[in-house]
Structure 1
């Protein structure tokens, strides 16, 4: 039978070409990444997908792929004529099983880029386990198909070796975390997925109840309250690798459902929790990619991070700091600087090479963060200052500025005159772009950092009230509970975030553990006794029964895996992610629910108003 007589989609009249319904006792002896020169002469059985097929006239070669890797297999008319004749039917992405003998590749034909590159399998017989339609994109790492297409066929995208390796590594990280925490006496305990809506910050996903019509569950944004209740229960040390849900706007490192390594312990102080957390992160990096993190992670206060980096999650892999220069221009002749609520500068060594177009692009970039513009000064090689604003500076101001910033020939200095939050956001994000532009970031380095001494509360101008910087169960630092009412913005939290390469990978705190202190916190947040009882009454009740001091931390597993794998998007480390509009292109979720289901839930949807005819719209306009 010829190759032309067996084509995809045709009815097969010969039993030997039919897809078999069972393996007939065949068992896989090796994965497609295991065989080496040590196995030469062995008889093996492999199973997997056909990555490539090459017909060289006499010999037929296929690369067989499973999640572990590739093995080259050969069908020879001299070794196994029947198997060779039937191999003409094989196509890309067919699922096959084959038996054969391991042989060394011919001299000069070894492939050092493959783990199995020294050997190949000469097939004696094979079985067709399934056929495949032509995939909508090639199943290989170099694929340039649009992400939307790859998400629609995610199960095919996951066959690509690079993505498969991400999930193999993710599994290694999860198991390493479990072993580490188990060795320290932590218990893995599951907490409810259907719980009570207590929105603080991001919106809850709501689930209607059929048995209690008009009532709703919420999917948990975190197991925060439940893990505190486990401490009240005396279980002492808890952890969970848990799915959480937040109905918020998405970006490259955020999804509506995400996974945390959630941890809580009784009778700790900050040092104990942070030490445990450092050990966990070191273990994850060592056991997955063999990277050694420092024995002690550096620390920085929230205030220092904001002042010098414009961010509470600074990337400290490179030195490029923001400098406050407001005092230099106070009362000066350049009113834009003199009247600014905050004035910060960012000096970039060698920045003279930036073109005017690049500077204009950076000016547009900072507008994303609320900035009105971007002032700059270039220091030319002869020492002359080039800038539209220099003419407004006095000699004393120029001297003081040069001294504070350490300005050198060939530098450029960027300025941001704006409210503090805008100046920090604009220059802090510009700092990252400049770090990339000038090659200041060591992409192979890992720079962990603890950020501590966060404000307990921050003012929300939209809601015109104070809100918790982290969450309302965070304890203030010693002696500050009494001052919350009089100086809510001055209180500091017993909170700590772990930052790695500019990404927050974990955050935690010591919790409030007495009912009086928890009520005081609610009052500071403008939550009255009645509202507090309605939303958090069960927690306040629990705290009355001898709650121990407790605290913990939660790590974003998805973000950690992004860093470990070098992925550019969080979608590359989540098996079935959502798009930026929180939809699943593969299953077409969310979808319309039938009226019968809605009636059973006691829900009636509000009808969308019908659009008026075009003529009527025109007359009304």
Structure 2
């Protein structure tokens, strides 16, 4: 393998052939004649010698221009500036005593130049191309090709490549077929908004870019392609966050004649393979399981970060008769004890109170446990019996602080769950070098949409339920459990999937429960419903968010840091200035006309 890679580097530029990349040379190459190519990172003039750090995506090699070796080459090297592109020929020699750089793979050697060629000049970059240089994200995005030359983004893209190679190799060994599905498809809005593409040949009609290949991968199962995968581009026209992009990449998988355990086993092996091949890390095996109800009860969220404790405790019944009316009347009251957390200042507590309001909370109750009693605005409303009950139930000790949230169950769990993560960071409870995986199972099949005033699918409307729950879909939709599963890594959902509905009558029952009538179902999903009539096998699958997985592997703060050409949080590309206006002739060809903005909209 190494010999083949070496031969691949024999690239020719103007008759010169590159012999090595810029992280390849070691003391084993002493005395060899080499040809190197790359960018000038730094230039240093030391008396009669000129030192250049020459860089490519793999690393750096120090090259030396000496008047004793080639006086003309040395004289002409004074023109060199950062980011000039060079080809050099020279001899590998040891660095002088005291000049070895142990931080570089090539730190023991240098190349003394016998001949060189300027391949291109460069303007002064808008920012220094060093990893430690602080540069605003907008500047980096506008000059993404320069950002790639820096170690951070460049190394992240290498990790991304290694991960996708590991995925393909792993699934190929398990007899999966990589099959492409359409990018121009039918709009079936069930969740995020579609990106629409007007058809020139069928004016007034539109394609949609796929939010996922869900329907097509199920059709592949109907067609007998019993193990499918695809590393696929997907599109969602939704508001953006640090971990969202309008276009993103999924690792999409589907298996016929399979159930939950089959898919989960393959998925665990895939993630373990990616970590082993990219980071050299062996993940714990087997991956623990936790039900949705247990996750929300203990952690407040269905994607728990299990690397640290701080568990939520329900205390509703302990304070049901309290003089503190908010506790007494609430649907749910939960507590979060932070051992030795009473060091928090009042300003910090006020900041945390504002933080939980993001998640619908109206405030945040708290108590500091002191040697001389409880310090809190609400302490006077709690009876001695209630204080004793809370102390025993929560295991309160001097130096602790306990936070309370009261109200509707969804708000209470979400607000305290997010507060738990914030406090984990504040008290340095989250080990940075640990990777905790957990499967979350037994999700509700449906949830009530207050705005639409109907039940909607929590995952998608093709998710199966347990055989014994099928009849309850119409009678008590909120109680039905889905045969779905999410894989969570360090508090991030990295993959989710389910067993699919494979019988026509069950799919119709699901549509009925969701309030999708026959005409609407036929219009949106008629092709799928017809295919179900021809003997669909039982099947199940999963999809991973590749960008989010790579973000965790690289320790990056945003998926933008692991995508070559990402969009901003406003869904714009600062490099190409997309989206942009198009010529009126293009619109006419599509049969489209833009609505004029009213003055109030301008």
TM bucket normalised to smaller: over 0.9
What is aligned with 1:508? Answer: 497
Distance 2:287 2:228 in 1: 24
What is aligned with 2:53? Answer: 63
What is aligned with 2:5? Answer: none
Question: Is the partner of 1:276 in helix, strand or coil?
Answer: helix
**1:199-598 matches, cutoff 5 A:** 199-380=189-370, 382=371, 384-598=373-587
2:127 to 137, 141, 145: 137
Distance 1:23 1:528 in 2: 65
Distance 1:569 1:71 in 2: 31
User: What displacement does 1:383 show?
Assistant: 5.0
Distance 2:259 2:326 in 1: 47
Distance 2:195 2:204 in 1: 15
User: What displacement does 1:478 show?
Assistant: 2.3
What is aligned with 1:12? Answer: none
Distance 1:32 1:122 in 2: 14
TM-score by length of 1: 0.94
User: What displacement does 1:165 show?
Assistant: 0.5
Deviation string 1:545-575 (CA, Å, 9 cap, x unpaired) is: 0100000000000001001000011100000
Distance 2:372 2:246 in 1: 52
Deviation string 1:402-430 (CA, Å, 9 cap, x unpaired) is: 11111011000000012111111111111
Deviation string 1:181-216 (CA, Å, 9 cap, x unpaired) is: 000000000000000000111000000000000000
Distance of aligned partners of 1:206 and 1:612 in 2 relative to their CA distance in 1, 3 Å threshold: closer
Deviation string 1:387-407 (CA, Å, 9 cap, x unpaired) is: 111111111111111111110
User: What displacement does 1:23 show?
Assistant: 2.3
Distance 2:102 2:65 in 1: 22
User: What displacement does 1:385 show?
Assistant: 0.9
Question: Is the partner of 1:351 in helix, strand or coil?
Answer: coil
1:110 to 76, 79, 100: 100
Question: Is the partner of 2:391 in helix, strand or coil?
Answer: helix
User: What displacement does 1:330 show?
Assistant: 1.2
Deviation string 1:110-141 (CA, Å, 9 cap, x unpaired) is: 00111111111101111111110110101111
What is aligned with 1:606? Answer: 595
Distance 2:307 2:246 in 1: 30
Deviation string 1:11-44 (CA, Å, 9 cap, x unpaired) is: xxxxxxxxxxx82221111111111111111111
Following TM superposition, the consecutive aligned residue runs of length 4 or more in structure 1 with deviations greater than 3 angstroms are 610-613
1:101 to 75, 79, 91: 91
Distance 1:606 1:176 in 2: 49
Distance 2:299 2:599 in 1: 51
Distance 2:331 2:53 in 1: 65
1:38 to 10, 14, 28: 28
Distance 1:419 1:248 in 2: 27
Distance 2:174 2:395 in 1: 49
Distance 1:224 1:83 in 2: 61
What is aligned with 2:163? Answer: 173
Answer with 469-478 or 189-198: which moved more: 469-478
Answer with 525-534 or 49-58: which moved more: 49-58
Distance 1:273 1:23 in 2: 49
Distance of aligned partners of 1:117 and 1:409 in 2 relative to their CA distance in 1, 3 Å threshold: same
Distance of aligned partners of 1:611 and 1:200 in 2 relative to their CA distance in 1, 3 Å threshold: closer
2:113 to 108, 123, 126: 123
Distance 1:350 1:37 in 2: 54
Question: Is the partner of 1:197 in helix, strand or coil?
Answer: coil
Distance 2:279 2:322 in 1: 55
Question: Is the partner of 1:473 in helix, strand or coil?
Answer: coil
1:83 to 63, 70, 73: 73
Question: Is the partner of 1:352 in helix, strand or coil?
Answer: coil
User: What displacement does 1:295 show?
Assistant: 1.6
Deviation string 1:59-78 (CA, Å, 9 cap, x unpaired) is: 11111110001111100000
Question: Is the partner of 1:599 in helix, strand or coil?
Answer: helix
User: What displacement does 1:227 show?
Assistant: 0.3
Question: Is the partner of 1:156 in helix, strand or coil?
Answer: helix
What is aligned with 1:13? Answer: none
Deviation string 1:453-488 (CA, Å, 9 cap, x unpaired) is: 000000011111111110000001221111110000
Distance 1:252 1:378 in 2: 34
Structure 1 runs not aligned, ≥5 long: 1-21, 614-621
User: What displacement does 1:372 show?
Assistant: 0.4
Distance 1:448 1:406 in 2: 28
User: What displacement does 1:611 show?
Assistant: 5.9
Distance 1:365 1:457 in 2: 29
Question: Is the partner of 1:369 in helix, strand or coil?
Answer: coil
Distance 1:451 1:516 in 2: 28
User: What displacement does 1:143 show?
Assistant: 1.9
